[in-house]
Amino acid sequence: MANLVDRDGRTGNNLIDSLRPTERALLASKLTSWHGDVGKVIHSPGQSVEWAYFPLDRAMVSYRVGFDDGREVETALIGREGAVGGIVSRGHLPAFALAVVQFDGCFGRISLSELEALKTREPRIAALFNRYADCLVAQIFQAGACNASHTIEQRAAKWLIAACDRTGSDELSLTQDQLAGLLGVGRSYTTRVIGRFKAEGVVETRRGRLTVRDRDRLAAAACDCDHAVRRHFEMVLRGVYPDP
């Protein structure tokens, strides 16, 4: 794991790095490096979950729920503020949602059996993941309310802001087809929304990449859902949610 830890003992995952140095080093020593390419499936619905994955730096995972008509709608976006897999469950339970790599990058990976042993041995590690589970549930609750209540433009702007925060970059590898799928809408809707953003100088698109040019105007177009999730993180896990 030494190649994933910098000279200050930090991993690039805010959740792990929020631990005290002793517990952080203990958890980091158990992690192995795993590279996730865009579209790589981490686990599928019904599959036994055997590993926990920690996105490092720019890496990001999308949790999605599928429907009988083939559509997949995102329910949570996980970056360096979190983890994917059986963080609080005991044993290898079946996954409910699809977890797929949204933006490629490096992950720290640990088997659930090793993670369970660490949580039993170190109460601070167990408490951290219990708190993160609370934050993840809040994020999913907020996503459900957002999908039911806000316009496609608001949701698209919110998603772009959240993705930029998690990657630490205003340039995203993203097509309008991909954004439409994540939002659960037809491509024509996102084409119109992104077209308006481009006309107003808010974003720029080119060959599968989208660059945010005016973050303030994009934030003004977004709903408040990302801020609501951030506020909850700050109450439960201060300093873990990525800075804007």
Is the pLDDT confidence value at 70 over 80?
yes
Residue 158 has what pLDDT? 98
Average the pLDDT over 122-129 and give the result.
96
Spatial strand order of the sheet with 105-111 comes to 32-36, 105-111, 51-55, 84-85
Q: In this structure, are 51 and 97 located in the same domain?
A: yes
Q: Per-residue b/e over 24-61, b at no fewer than 16 CB within 10 Å?
A: bebbbeebeebebeeeeebbeeeeebebbbbbbbbbbb
DSSP 8-class letter at 4: G
Residue 96 near residue 64 (C-beta atoms within 8 A):
no
For residue 50, being part of any structural domain is answered with yes
228 pLDDT more than 90: yes
For the cut 90, the answer to whether the pLDDT of residue 89 exceeds it is no
155 in the same domain as 107: no
DSSP assignment string, 94-117: BPSSEEEEEE-EEEEEEEHHHHHH
Q: Give me the CATH number covering residue 46.
A: 2.60.120.10
Residues 6+ apart with CB under 8 A from 164: 170, 172, 212, 215
Asked if the structure places residue 134 within a domain, the reply is no
Q: In the chain, how long is the greatest CA-to-CA distance? A: 56
Residue 19 scores a pLDDT above 70? yes
Return the pLDDT at 1: 46
97 and 163 in a common domain? no
pLDDT tier at 103, thresholds 50, 70, 90? very high
Express each pLDDT in 173-192 by its tens digit: 999 999 999 999 999 999 99
Residues 185, 68: Cα–Cα separation, whole Å: 15
What are the residues facing 101 on neighbouring strands?
61
Q: How many independent structural domains does the chain possess?
A: 2
pLDDT at 91: 65
Question: 118 and 157 in one domain?
Answer: no
Report if residue 85 sits inside a domain.
yes
SS3 150: coil
Among 122, 141, 166, identify where a domain stops: 122
Question: Is residue 215 a part of any domain in this protein?
Answer: yes
Please tell me whether residues 109 and 169 are part of one structural domain. no
pLDDT(69) > 80: yes
Per the document, the length of the chain is: 244
Average pLDDT of the segment spanning 66-71: 88
- Give yes or no: residues 160 and 207 share one domain: yes
Query: Domain end: 83, 106, 122, which one?
Result: 122
**181 assigned to some structural domain:** yes
- Is the domain of 104 the same as that of 10? yes
What average pLDDT does the structure give for the chain?
Answer: 93
- State pLDDT tens for residues 130-167: 999 999 999 999 999 999 999 999 999 999 999 999 99
Expressed as residue numbers, the domain containing 206 is 151-222
Question: Is there a single domain that holds both residue 96 and residue 31?
Answer: yes
The last residue of one of the domains, among 101, 122, 143, is 122
Burial class (CB in 10 A: 0-12, 13-18, 19+), 201: exposed
pLDDT digits (tens, 9 = 90+) for 71-88: 889 999 999 999 999 876
- pLDDT tens digits, residue range 27-64? 999 999 999 999 999 999 999 999 999 999 999 999 99
Q: What is the pTM of this model?
A: 0.93
Strand order of the sheet with strand 203-206? 171-173, 209-212, 203-206
Residues 103 and 155 in one domain: no
CATH of the domain at 158: 1.10.10.10
Instruction: Please tell me whether residues 50 and 156 are part of one structural domain.
Output: no
Does residue 90 surpass a pLDDT of 70? no
Q: Does one domain contain both 57 and 15? A: yes
118 and 170 in a single domain? The answer is no
